Structure formats: C-alpha cells, structure tokens
C-alpha cells in the first residue's frame, strides 16, 4: 500500500497497468469552454452547467405520511453534469472533518453518556479514525493545490497546505480582529482557488486565482480552481489506460449471484444501450445517483423507517440550511464585487466537540465563517428590515448597501434520524421510465437548538465588527425542498458490519465484493463543513482497496465485526 503524497492517480495507473473506463452522462468540457464566461444569467440563474430537471429530478416530502412531489425549480436542485461534475462548478471550500466526526458516537458517549443521543438518532462511528484517513487528506490537498492556513483547533497534519492562503481582505481583517478580541481562534479557510501557480505531484499545473467572483456555479476560465478537468482527468488520460466515454448514462449495475460483473449504460444521444463488463465497478456519481442505482439494481436491502430494517437509503443527511446573520454598516464601505467561491475566514471554537456540550441541548456544532464570494447584482440585493420591497426607497437603499453589507454564517453538522431517508418513488419516473429517487427529510429538535445557538454567535461577531444593524437569518419550521448547496450524504454508508453499513472502510460493498461505492453516500453523518476533501480522501483509500482486491484475486478487504 502506498500512501506517499509524492504520487498521484496517474502514477498508480502506470504502475498497476489496469485499464479503466469512465462513463459520464454529460458532455466533455475543458477550460476553453469557460472563456469569457462571466454571465450571471446563464450560469447562476439558468444553471447552464447543471442537470436539467425536466429530464431527471427527484421527489421530496417531509414525512412518510405525505405524497412526494418532483422538484422542478432549478434554483432548488443544482446537480452538476458533464466532465468534472460538481468539481467544475464547486466554490472550492476545502475543509477536513474533525477527529471527533469519525468516532462521533464513541466520543459522545464517553464524555456525556448515552442519554445525550436522542433515541431516534442513527448516530454511529465511521469505522475509520482521523489518524487513518489523514494521509489521504494530504494526498488530496497536494493533488488539488489547496491554499490555506492551518486551523489551530483542527486535527494534526502530516504536511502543510501546498500553497499559501489567499490574501487578507479588509473585511476579513475586521473578522479576525473581532474574533481575537472575543478569545476565539480565527484562520483563513482552506480553498481550491489557488493563491499562486502550482504544479502538483502528477505534473498538472494550476494557475493563480484572479478573484473575479465568477466561481461557484461557474467553470474557471483561468484554470485556477481545483477542478477534475485540470487535475485528475488529464492525469489519467495521459497514462493511455483511461478511456472516458461521455453522453453515457449508467442505468443498471449488472450482477451474477453475489458478484457484480459490469454496468449497463445508455447513449443519451441515440438511446442505444450497451453492457460494459468489468472486474471491478466503482460508483462515483453524486449521492442521489449512487443510491438510486443500488436500489434500481436490487443491490442491498432497502431501508424501511417503520421497521428499522435495511441499509440502502438510511442515514440521509444534508446541509440544507446554512444560516447566520447579515450586518449593515452605515459608516464603512467594502469592495463586495471581488471574490472567489471560497475566500474567507472562520473559527471553530463551537464546532465538533471543541467546547463543552454539557449545558446545551445538542451535540456537535458548526464553523462560524465569513466568505467573500463576490456579490453578483441579480441574486444579491441586500436592504435593511422594513425597507419597502419596491419603489424609490428600495432602489436607493439597494444601491447604498450593496457594498456596505457583510454576512456571517455557520455551516453546521447534520446528524441522521430514523425518519430521514432515500427510496425509490412509486409514482414518478424519469424520461426513460425508471423511478425517480424520493427524499424524505425534515428538521428535528436538535437541528433547531444547534441553529439557535450558532446564529447568536454570528450576531455577536457582526456586532463586534461594528455593524450598525444586524439581522439574524430565520430557520423555517420545516425543510421546504431546496437542495441548494449540493451537500447531500448518506444512503450507502460505511461502517464495521453488515448490520450498520452498506460498505466497509474501503467503500467496498459487503455482499458484492467487486463493487465499490465512492462519494458522500458513504458518510454516516454530515460533518460541519463542505464534503469534498473527505470524499476525495476516502476515494483515494478506496482506490488502493480496488488494487489490493485485484491483486488478491477478489474477496473482502475487511471482515465484518
């Protein structure tokens, strides 16, 4: 096993000599496709890079007693398609999870006792520790050229970030000064918007970010974002061992007995279907599609919230609401046009188990953070409360406050409950006649308690920064079906046994050993921040597992406990 950070996936292919076929439902893209692409209407409003919901979507309901309905609003469900997928349009926030996340149940019980965990919460350890996954975090960061400053409250690191943090903007300096004065530990957050030109261990060169603000929901015309189309895809293609087939929609996983033998896919242009045999199949699509393919292919037992039996679809979680507060500054003016998809600062004094939860009615927490993403004029129109929604006063205050407003929010953990899960919809189908995925999800008491606590922290720091007016963001009574942040997890979770997980810590299916399910679908809960580095770290480890599986002639890489 080679966890060396000096080697990347391309080198793995060269050394191992395996032939790999990649199937992508969308079109092929390159950096050239994004030149002169500073078009908010095209990309941020009409979602040009995203899957079209008229062809394929999901259905949603709050409880099992309700009828689910398809999501048709393209601002509510933004799923990437085409080469690079979500890695092309992501904002590039690149955090690690905390050691607490990987052993969350054990550490919670050890410190607070079983009574701290609600009876209907499906909380479990991941089966892997932070120390075990840490080398793979480093491998991802060096491949992606992550620019960052080490969080003083984070887990230990084996290497620094490969590039320095982005510059300290005046707004960020205000945030740091306020946090320091309150005794917190601010830092410039890690990002995949590179602070300087960088050549990664695979020989791929990424350029320096221009702070143009056309980042999240956009492809980067500068090649300055850690995007698969400028990193791992060209690395793999250069080996001559990787074939990428675009316009290829996988519809079923093929199997004989308890062995997966390949996949069936459809050419979305002609409608023709093909069977692709394989010694190993890796599902590497989005959480929703990973789970849907397993269910449609009759792999694993579907989860039933009534009986509690079954695994596939269980532990669904999402960062559905990222809330905090907005501050209006009458005596300060900022340049809010400049930005990236991730540029900013945060502190983690109220995250994970970094503070004593004995006197609060929740577990875990969230990062308090401020980001400068560039306020595009269509979707950003901040005005203070009690401003008329139209007319002369509205226009005047819109112009005045556009560069006098800052928001501080909290990304917080979301923990799994028995009632929140994924299943196949019995009524609605896609354009090919296959059932849509159905999401059943709503908030629980701890979600509100956690949000209330963290929202107050957001208000406090904006006040310390000198905001004239601070307006907290309210949390809705029920989740309303806006899957806005592309942070979905669970449904094919990892663990230590067949009874509590679909895959082992190599993301290998317990009952179909030649099938590996990579992505956030493996997360038993959603940690406090963006999932990409954790997904990537687990996938690097899974890749080593696939090679080990092939070398050993098959079999389980880990025996269930």
Catalytically annotated residues: 487
Q: How far is CA 222 from CA 34, 97, 214, 374, in A?
A: 9, 29, 11, 17
> Burial level of 267, CB count in 10 A (0-12/13-18/19+)?
middle
Nearest to 218 by CA among 42, 342, 360, 355: 42
Task: For the chain, give the longest Cα–Cα distance.
Answer: 73
| Beta-carbon contacts of residue 147 (< 8 Å; ≥ 6 apart) | 161, 163, 164, 165, 166, 190, 191, 192, 193, 194, 195, 196
Instruction: Name the 3-class secondary structure at 419.
Output: coil
- Residue 375 to residue 372: CA distance in whole angstroms: 8
Instruction: Name the 3-class secondary structure at 328.
Output: strand
Q: Which residues pair with 439 in a beta bridge?
A: 60, 422
Instruction: Name the 3-class secondary structure at 295.
Output: helix
The token pair at 72 is 């048709």
Nearest to 532 by CA among 87, 233, 110: 87
The token pair at 540 is 């690097």
Instruction: Name the 3-class secondary structure at 140.
Output: helix
| Beta-carbon contacts of residue 39 (< 8 Å; ≥ 6 apart) | none
Dihedral, 104, 110, 114, 116 alpha carbons, nearest 10: -70
Consecutive H or E run containing 261: strand 259-267
Instruction: Name the 3-class secondary structure at 416.
Output: coil
> Burial level of 356, CB count in 10 A (0-12/13-18/19+)?
exposed
CB atoms within 10 A of CB 14: 13
Nearest to 532 by CA among 365, 382, 351, 319: 319
Rg (CA), the chain: 23
| Beta-carbon contacts of residue 326 (< 8 Å; ≥ 6 apart) | 382, 405, 406, 407, 462, 470, 471, 473
- Residue 6 to residue 321: CA distance in whole angstroms: 38
Nearest to 521 by CA among 283, 319, 287, 253: 287
Reported as half-sphere exposure (CB side, CA atoms, 13 A), residue 473 has a value of 20
Nearest to 6 by CA among 165, 159, 156: 159
| Beta-carbon contacts of residue 74 (< 8 Å; ≥ 6 apart) | 46, 47, 50, 52, 53
């Amino acid at each position: 096993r080679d966890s060396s950070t000096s080697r990347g996936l391309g080198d793995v292919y060269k050394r191992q000599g395996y032939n790999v076929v990649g199937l992508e439902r969308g079109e092929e893209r390159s950096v050239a496709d994004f030149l002169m692409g500073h078009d908010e209407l095209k990309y941020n409003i009409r979602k040009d890079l995203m899957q079209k919901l008229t062809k394929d979507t999901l259905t949603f309901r709050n409880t099992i007693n309700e009828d689910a309905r398809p999501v048709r609003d393209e601002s509510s469900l933004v799923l990437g398609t085409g080469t690079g997928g979500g890695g092309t349009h992501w904002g590039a926030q690149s955090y690690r999870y905390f050691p607490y996340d990987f052993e969350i149940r054990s550490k919670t019980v050890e410190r607070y006792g079983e009574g701290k965990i609600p009876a209907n919460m499906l909380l479990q350890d991941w089966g892997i520790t932070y120390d075990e996954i840490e080398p793979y975090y480093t491998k991802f960061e060096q491949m992606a050229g992550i620019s960052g400053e080490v969080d003083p409250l984070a887990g230990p690191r084996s290497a620094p970030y490969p590039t320095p943090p982005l510059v300290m903007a005046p707004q960020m300096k205000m945030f740091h000064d306020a946090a320091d004065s309150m005794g917190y530990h601010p830092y410039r957050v890690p990002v995949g918007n590179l602070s300087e030109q960088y050549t990664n261990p695979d020989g791929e060169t990424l350029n320096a970010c221009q702070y143009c603000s056309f980042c999240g929901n956009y492809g980067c015309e500068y090649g300055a974002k850690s995007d698969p189309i400028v990193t791992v895809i060209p690395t793999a293609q250069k080996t001559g061992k990787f074939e990428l087939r675009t316009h290829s929609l996988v519809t079923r996983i093929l199997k004989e007995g308890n062995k997966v033998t390949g996949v069936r896919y459809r050419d979305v242009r002609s409608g023709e279907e093909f069977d692709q045999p394989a010694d190993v199949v890796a599902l590497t699509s989005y959480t929703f599609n990973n789970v849907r393919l397993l269910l449609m292919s009759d792999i694993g037992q579907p989860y039933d919230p009534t009986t509690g039996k079954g695994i596939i679809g269980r532990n669904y979680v999402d960062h559905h609401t990222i809330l905090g507060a907005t501050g209006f500054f009458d005596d300060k003016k900022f340049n809010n046009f400049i930005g990236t998809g991730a540029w900013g600062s945060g502190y983690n004094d109220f995250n994970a188990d970094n503070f004593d939860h004995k006197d609060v009615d929740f577990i875990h927490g969230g990062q308090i953070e401020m980001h400068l993403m560039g306020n595009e004029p269509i979707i950003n129109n901040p005005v203070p409360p009690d401003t008329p929604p139209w007319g002369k006063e509205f226009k005047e205050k819109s112009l005045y406050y556009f560069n006098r407003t800052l928001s501080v929010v909290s990304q917080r953990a979301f923990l799994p409950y028995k009632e929140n899960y994924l299943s196949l919809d019995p009524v609605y189908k896609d354009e090919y006649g296959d059932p849509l995925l159905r999401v059943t999800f709503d908030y629980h008491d701890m979600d509100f308690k956690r949000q209330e606590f963290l929202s107050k922290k957001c208000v406090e720091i904006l006040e310390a920064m000198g905001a004239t007016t601070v307006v907290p963001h309210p949390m809705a009574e029920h989740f309303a079906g806006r899957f806005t942040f592309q942070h979905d997890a669970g449904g094919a979770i990892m663990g230590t046994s067949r009874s509590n997980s679909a895959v082992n810590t190599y993301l290998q299916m317990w009952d179909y050993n030649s099938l590996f399910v990579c992505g956030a679908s493996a997360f038993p809960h959603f940690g406090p921040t963006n999932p990409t580095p954790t997904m990537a770290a687990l996938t690097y480890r899974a890749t080593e597992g696939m090679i080990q599986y092939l070398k050993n002639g098959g079999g389980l890489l880990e025996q269930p406990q």
